[in-house]
Structure 1
Amino acid sequence: MRKIFLACPYSHADSEVVHERFLACNVVAATIIESGHCVFSQVSMSHPINLAFENRDSAVIGKLWGPVDAVFMEAMEELIILDLPGWDLSSGIKREIAFFEQKGRPVSLWSKVAAQFE
């Protein structure tokens, strides 16, 4: 069983884009689970909680998640990035890539590995 940290771009000025990213991440997480692997889907977990962080700037919210993400990144063996538009601009994804690469753990784009989960 693979232990996968699923990354996805999240923040955006348009709340509809944020919600669409959340939904897309859930579909990929479900696909990974259905294929018999373990996944921690950061956006799937954080989006509903972020809705409770009323009147907080997205940068402040991102800083709150940093230590939480670190716990889950340490537990997972590989990083898969849901490469939706904007993924390569995400500071969170850049941080996650750096973490996994520093540990010598695999980093992949979903578009390159999706067929492995069919």
Structure 2
Amino acid sequence: MRKIFLACPYSHADASVTHDRFIACNKVAAAMIEAGHAVFSQVSMSHPINLAFEGKDSAAIGKLWAPVDAFFMDALDELIILDLPGWDLSSGIKREIEFFENRGRRVSLWSAVETEFN
């Protein structure tokens, strides 16, 4: 069983784009689980909780999640990035890539490994 941290671009000025990213991430996480792997899908977990944070901008919310993400990243063996448009501009994904690469752990784009989960 692979132990996967699933990253996905999240924040966007258009709330419908953010929601669409949440749905796409859930579908990928479901595919990973159906294939018999353990996955922590950060966007799947954080999106519903983010809706409950009142009066906080995306930067403040990101700071709240940083230690939670670090806990899960430390516990998991690989990072898979759902490479939706904008993934390469995400500061959060850049941080996650650096974390995994600095520990010699596998980093992959979903488009490159998707067939491994079918």
Percent of residue pairs bearing the same amino acid type: 77
Please list the CA deviations of residues 3-62 of structure 1 after superposition, one character each: whole Å capped at 9, or x if unmatched: 000000000000000000000000000000000000000000000000000110100000
Find the counterpart in structure 2 of residue 86 from structure 1: 86
Find the counterpart in structure 1 of residue 28 from structure 2: 28
Find the counterpart in structure 1 of residue 113 from structure 2: 113
1:10 aligns with 2:10: yes
Classify the secondary structure of the residue corresponding to 2:33: helix
Large movers: runs of 4+ above 6 Å? none
Instruction: Tell me the TM-score normalized by structure 1.
Output: 0.99
Unaligned ranges ≥5, structure 1: none
Find the counterpart in structure 1 of residue 50 from structure 2: 50
Which range moves more in the overlay, 27-36 or 53-62? 53-62
Unaligned ranges ≥5, structure 2: none
Aligned residues: 118
Please list the CA deviations of residues 44-101 of structure 1 after superposition, one character each: whole Å capped at 9, or x if unmatched: 0000000000110100000110000000000100000000000000000000000000
Shift of 1:103: 0.4
Alignment root-mean-square deviation, CA = 0.3
Classify the secondary structure of the residue corresponding to 2:5: strand
Equivalent residue letter for 1:42: Q
Find the counterpart in structure 2 of residue 69 from structure 1: 69
Aligned mates of 1:69, 1:79 — CA distance in 2: 12
Aligned mates of 1:64, 1:87 — CA distance in 2: 21
